[in-house]
Amino acid sequence: MLKHLSTTCSILRQFSSNAFSLRTHNCGELRKSDVGKKVHLYGWVLKNRYNGSFIILHDKYGFVQARLPSESNLKDLAATIEIESLEILNKCSNIPFPVIGNLKPEAETEIELRKRLTFRYFDLRKTESQRILHLRANVVKKIRRCLEDELGFIEVETPTLAAHTPGGAAEFIVPTQIHGQVYSLPQSPQIYKQLLMIGQLDRYYQIARCYRDESIRGDRQPEFTQVDLELSFVSQDQILSLLEKMIIDSWPETMASHKPTAPFQRLSFDEAMIKYGSDKPDLRIPWIFEDCSAAFNNPSTKAYGFVVKDYKKNDGLPSFGALKRKFSKLYPHYDHKNIRFINSKEKEVYGKDIDSNLIQKFKLEKDDLLVIGVTNEPQRSLKKLLSTMGHARNYLADL
């Protein structure tokens, strides 16, 4: 059997997507050089043409048009495959949405998204869905190559069923057959990787699945994958430099124009909070907080603000008054009472003198929006105030 396999598979097939397959070619690789060859193709019928005499067969690699034996003399389809034998492996009703071509705007509506998720196996046939999965796989492959081949790391799988570890996010509990005994799904492999360091593995990594039973947000998911690392005998700067190399080396070729260069910009926690109100700020947003405490002429008052230039000139954006209501509804648990969305033409806000100081400080013009946060208890509530302003910054950038 092995001898037969080795004599019938070409060198190309041994090192291609057709190796160890019933097909000789995929639907995307036939060319003029293949004219006259007998090929075996497998795939899905896309649609009928010419009264059912032609079929379009497709797979993840591409399309091929095949002519049924009864059809003849169609000169405009000279590259069509002549079918010698045809076997229908399975019949299918009409699929609920097109799987070929780019998504239309209406495909992003809630109803259409629900339909796409219900029939996820069809949605995966879309070019964009395939592209995303291939992109992720390629990045992970490059990460492994960088860490293992160049930096001497070893990949170790750690248990998914673990003991409960207090602290951090809530954990998913997995019951067992023993009454009163449960497992927890790990928030991260933290304990295990520390044991590996004690065991002298020195450099460990894992493409790890992690689980946290918490509400879903843009940066929070109950189940996610992270590149998990642990090193012995290393400084903070060395870890940061290592991560920079890993990111640069694994950067997708399709996004080469956006490839970063080392060293990356570095911010301390305090600097990030004071400037952006977040420990993970989006630096694409141009607005930076400015300390405007002096405008209030009160040593116990701490105030920060940032300006959105020409806000009022953008049609379709909420009015100054509506901004506060919309923001408060979207982020109900933050420090709204100390945040204001104002402009230079608004009636007296903090008092004539203070308002004048703020207009001069931020050089406000009539169409500008000033987002300002003020607290008289800076030791206790400044962090919460800055965090709320950070959310306001992201909220305005997304409008």
Domain ranges of the chain: 2-82, 156-231, 269-398
CB 320, CB 308: distance < 8 Å: no
Q: Report the 3 state secondary structure along 47-94.
A: EEECCCCEEEEEECCEEEEEECCCCCCCHHHCCCEECCCCCCCCCCCC
The DSSP symbol for 356 reads H
Residues in the chain: 399
Q: How do the pLDDT tens digits run along the chain, 399 residues long? A: 333 333 344 444 445 789 889 999 999 898 888 888 899 999 988 765 545 677 888 888 888 888 776 655 444 444 567 788 888 888 888 888 888 766 666 656 776 888 889 999 999 988 889 999 999 999 999 999 999 999 999 999 999 999 988 877 899 999 999 998 999 999 999 999 999 999 999 999 999 999 999 888 777 899 999 999 999 999 999 999 999 999 999 999 999 999 999 999 999 999 999 999 999 999 999 999 999 999 999 988 999 999 999 888 887 788 877 888 888 888 777 777 888 888 877 777 888 889 889 989 999 888 899 999 999 887 778 889 999 999 999 999 988
2-82, CATH topology level: OB fold (Dihydrolipoamide Acetyltransferase, E2P) (2.40.50)
Same fold, 2-82 and 269-398: no
Q: What is the pTM of this model?
A: 0.79
Torsion of CA 383, 384, 385, 386, to 10 degrees: 50
363 CB contacts (<8 Å, ≥6 apart)? 307
Q: Is 284 helix (H, G, I), strand (E, B) or coil?
A: coil
CB 96, CB 119: distance < 8 Å: yes
Cis peptide before 263 (omega within 30 of 0): yes
269-398, CATH topology level: Gyrase A; domain 2 (3.30.1360)
